[in-house]
Amino acid sequence: MSAFDQQLASLKKEMTIQGRRVMDLCTKAVDCFFDCDTTLAREVVLADEAIDKADVEIERASVPLLAMGQTNEHSIRCVLTIVKVNNELERIADAGVTIAERVFDTRSFKERAPNTFRVMANSVLGMLRDATRSLEREDAELARQVLLFDDTVERFKSEILLDTETQVENGACSAAFAFRLLAVVKAVDRIADHATNICEQVIYLRRGLIVRHRPEGWSDPESPE
């Protein structure tokens, strides 16, 4: 095995570990929000430090690989994919921290998040899980399945926001709770967006093709223009 292949294999292993860290953080973030668990929320915030550190280390380790004169197209795409996905994972972790931080709100809320939000949050966690698995396995078909679920998450988000607006108008929930829920819904939606970005990179890695999100849905993989 060449020096390039050895270093690339090591970097892929670090990416797998980082993906699992981020998945764990986001799962705990969702749980602490639903359970109003400040102890778990603090754990989420602290966990982000390790992710930020690994983010920097992975990026630094990627740069020398690009300077090793590799000419194999797939190998070059591997390195570029790692750099891009590494950034997506760091942003996903930031969104998870945003969710956890809402638990520290000093005001007391009696209102509970609607059941639809739990379904949305669990769906997005599933997208993130499969996105990281697709990267680990270089599985373009699994990545494609994640993309196809994105519109369902968007419908969940629209339903939650409309329902919350109606609840506020009817006096069934406070405006304060509505703003709190809105911030968390947006953070969960960002996780879904970054998960789809990862999947786009996996498809490009395996096939050298790109997909685009259009008003009618995701395009079929096609050659770059």
93 inside domain: yes
pLDDT band at 1 (very low <50, low <70, confident <90, very high): confident
- In angstroms, the Cα distances linking 200 to 7, 57, 119, 193 are 24, 23, 24, 11
* Tens digits of residue pLDDT in 32-85: 998 989 999 999 999 999 999 999 999 999 989 988 877 788 888 899 999 999
H or E segment and range at residue 213: strand 213-214
Structural domain harbouring 74: 3-218
| 163, 187, 214, 208 alpha-carbon torsion, rounded to 10° | -150
pTM score > 0.85 for this model? yes
224 inside domain: no
160 inside domain: yes
Number of domains in the chain: 1
